[in-house]
Structures are given as C-alpha cells and as structure tokens.
Amino acid sequence: MFRSVLGKTLGFVGYTIQYGCIAHCAFEYIGEFVVCSGPSMEPTIVSEDIVFSESVSRHLCKIDKGDIVIAKSPSDPHMNICKRVIGLEGDKVCTSGPSDMFKTHTYVPKGHVWLEGDNLRNSTDSRSYGPIPYALIRGRVCLKLWPPDSFGALSESPTRQIDKTLRNSDSD
C-alpha cells in the first residue's frame, strides 16, 4: 500500500516537473500573454488590454524601430514595461519631452535600445531612465487579443504619425 501511494506521488511530481519545464520553454522561447496596465501606450494599448508577446524575435535579434516590446523595467526588475522602440544602437534620438522648448539629442549606445510610450505626455520611458540594454527585452508584441473589438495586429504609433505629418508639412 505504501509503495503504491509513494509511486503515484512520485509519478505526479515527475509529470508536474515535466509540464513545468515545457511551460517555461514555451514562455521563454515562443511567447506569452500579457495584460498591460497604465496609460503610457494609449491609444494603441489601453490599460487592461491583453496582448501576445512573441519571444522568437528577441532571440534572433530581429527587433526593429516601431516595434512594441515587453521589457524588464530598468528601475524595478520585478516589473515589466510595454513601450515602443524608437531607436536602435547608433541612432540619434531626441531626449527632450514634447513640451520642452529646446530639443536635446543623444546617441543610443551599442547593445541598447531607446523606448518610449505612445502617450508621450504620460509615459515614464527612456527619456527618464535612458537607453535600456537589449537583454532586458522579453518579447515583441505582435497581436492584441482583448478586447475582442480591437483584436488584431498593432498599428503604427498615432503620435509618431502626427510628428511625421508635421515634419513633412514644415519642409514644404
């Protein structure tokens, strides 16, 4: 009787460890579901939206400007952040806020990215904590899953589209 109970218990523990390893590998190397919170990515991603973040791009170094990523917060390693990639290593980026009269710029160092929220007036991002190491990126957001009426691929930043329109009209 004791052997039967012990055998079943060890079998259960073995299956639990196997499925735990499979789940870990799936989340680490394939992707994960993420519930976003906070106003920094509005209107693209609103608080409580659920997105799918794929991890393959991170492992293949295929993160590009304009991608939305999930990354570990540089100020709190227990927290994830959701931001848009504005600059890659070697790029010159504007470090001043939207209301600053004088614009300042910096270069993104090797092995780093510059992240900003779409809601520039209400986002704590690289303008506050500087460029973040590429290694802090957890995945690239590729799909909005919830709410159902906004299901699908994510669009380009609405604030960046406005900036492009203004720059193009200024050059005319």
Instruction: Of 70, 39, 65, give the one whose Cα is nearest residue 156.
Output: 65
Residues 51, 33: Cα–Cα separation, whole Å: 6
Strand ranges (DSSP E) for the chain? Answer: 31-35, 50-54, 68-72, 80-87, 92-94, 105-107, 112-116, 132-133, 137-146
96 counts as catalytic: no
Q: Which of 53, 55, 83, 157 is catalytic?
A: 83
CA distances from 145 to 32, 76, 120, 148, 154 (A): 12, 27, 24, 7, 10
Classify the phi-psi angles of 158: left when phi > 0, otherwise alpha if psi is within -120 to 50, otherwise beta.
alpha
Active-site residue, 110 included: no
Ramachandran region, residue 111 (left: φ > 0; alpha: ψ -120 to 50; beta: rest): left
Active site residues: 40, 83
